Amino acid sequence: MDGAKMEPFQLPKNFLMGSATSATQIEGGDQNNTWFRWCQNQGHIHDGSSCIRGDDHWNRYPEDIQLMKELNHNIYRMGIEWSRIEPEKGRFDDKVLRHYKDELSLLLQNKIQPLVTLHHFSNPLWFEDMGGWENPESVQLFIRYTHYVVAALGDLVNEWITINEPNVYLIYGYERGAWPPGKTNLFAMFRALSHLTLAHIQSYQEIHRIRIEHQFPGKTRVGIAHHLRIFDPEDNQLRNKIPARIIRYLSQDLFLESMGFGKFNFPLGMGGYPLGRGKYYDFLGINYYSRDMVRLAWEPANLFGHLNVKKNAPVNDLGWEIYPEGLYRLCRRYYQKYQAPIYITENGICDTKDTKRAQFIYDHLQQIARLNQEGIPVERYYHWSLMDNFEWAEGESGRFGLIANDFGTQQRTVRRSGKFYGEICARKAITQEMIEKYL
């Protein structure tokens, strides 16, 4: 897009901006989680790297918080590592909790409000070895972990995400076999989903109960970070519209309905409410990256739809379409049903050369400004990611960071797009001067 065609715009003054990370992807040094073991098998990680290195954030978090401050963050979404906190079943490590308390305290000292994720794709090995989320006992084990963490950190954290992208975790781990535990079994996937759903609902209730009981400060907000995509049919023919709707239902709407209201629709159940009908979210967390074009195909693993990128569409380094309007469409669609404040809990681009990221940020924030003008309460924007990290199956080659990281030396360098984003965070606006400077 030509800079001359771009217009300045204003975001709401109370709009909060920052970035997001996950523990497994940046901390390094932990050998007790499922992803470390997964990395040991040749071929699992595209570039042969391992999460054991990450960004060494476990030791360098003061430096990274200083960078957040320099980029004018007022919010930060961070993960904590279950496998560190409970290294053996029933044994909790108080030293690890003290480490996280120190990190959270430093964030607050720098006027950066934390949003903490309890589960982000990674399990302790002991948990995985007893069957992971397929084991019915997983529900109570997760609730016990939640109780321990929230009671210990609740004076510093009032906002929580129970589970990050349950659909992505289950599809890649239980249907496609590309992530741990490496299964290709739909029955196992839906069995695990039922347990994840029960764990979320009861953890949601437990977090609220603990914070009331302990009279912890701040308004309690608990939710899920849902990975949402646009699934558009390749054309207006019914044969392509049907698989697009099926894929959207089974990979998104089923998850939102069960975890949001406790309703177990088919294939989880027949529409009942095992834990009672309720509203088990205080905000709607949306992770948005791209769109897929769908056509009918004999591909049972993809729910009988073939996913394509729109012809001649702009793409990121991983070949995902860059489609900013999709963020607008998703927020409008799901706000109508779920009627809660919206947090954009992840949004970003894999762009090693940093030639597209500034434009990506501009285009997506412009959609957020549009939504707010229409009365849809998008309150937060967490850019993915603060810095380059271990990007799951892509390894260290998937560069999503506002800050470039040299994994060999752990040298951080703020990218040009990161400086642009830092100015937006400070101004809550994009000015003509910023357009001319960065775009």
- Tokens 């990450």 sit at which residue? 54
Cis peptide before 385 (omega within 30 of 0): yes
Q: How far apart are CA 26 and CA 401, in angstroms?
A: 11
Among the listed residues 65, 39, 77, 276, the one whose alpha carbon sits nearest the alpha carbon of residue 165: 77
Beta strand segments in 6-80, E: 9-10, 16-20, 75-79
Give the C-alpha separation, 9 to 24, whole Å: 36
Q: Strand, coil or helix: what is 430?
A: strand
The upper half-sphere exposure of residue 39, i.e. CA atoms within 13 Å in the direction of its Cβ, equals 26
CB atoms under 10 Å from CB of 344, counted, come to 28
When computed from its CA atoms, the radius of gyration of the chain, rounded to whole angstroms, is 21
116 by DSSP, 3-state: which? strand
Q: 163-202: per-residue pLDDT in tens?
A: 999 999 999 999 999 999 999 999 999 999 999 999 999 9
Q: Give the Cα separation of 420 and 6 in Å (integer).
A: 15
169 with 133: CB under 8 angstroms? no
Question: How confident is the model over 87-102, as a mean pLDDT?
Answer: 98
Residue 299 has pLDDT above 80, yes or no: no
pLDDT digits (tens, 9 = 90+) for 357-407: 999 999 999 999 999 999 999 999 999 999 999 999 999 999 999 999 999
Q: How far apart are CA 124 and CA 89, in angstroms?
A: 9
Query: Buried b / exposed e across 166-184, counting CB within 10 Å, b at 16+?
Result: bbbbbbbbbbeeebbbebe
Go through the chain and tell me how many residues it has. 439
The DSSP code for 87 is S
CB 312 within 8 Å of CB 318: no
| Domains of the chain with CATH codes | 3-438 (3.20.20.80)
For the purposes of burial, counting CB atoms within 10 Å of the CB of 431, is it exposed (0-12), middle (13-18) or buried (19 or more)? Answer: middle
What is the pTM (predicted TM-score) of this model? 0.97
**pLDDT per position as a tens digit, 106-116:** 999 999 999 99
Contact between 106 and 53 (Cβ < 8 Å):
no
For the cut 50, the answer to whether the pLDDT of residue 3 exceeds it is no
Q: What is the pLDDT, as a whole number, of residue 36?
A: 98
Instruction: Tell me the two tokens of residue 198.
Output: 């029960």
Q: What is the spatial distance between Cα 124 and Cα 92, in angstroms, rounded to a whole number?
A: 12
Distance CA 347, CA 290 (A): 9
Kindly report, residue by residue over 228-284, the tens digit of the pLDDT: 999 999 999 999 999 999 999 999 999 999 999 999 999 999 999 999 999 999 999
SS3 state of residue 306: strand
pLDDT on residue 170: 97
CA 35 to chain centre: 17
pLDDT of residue 5: 78
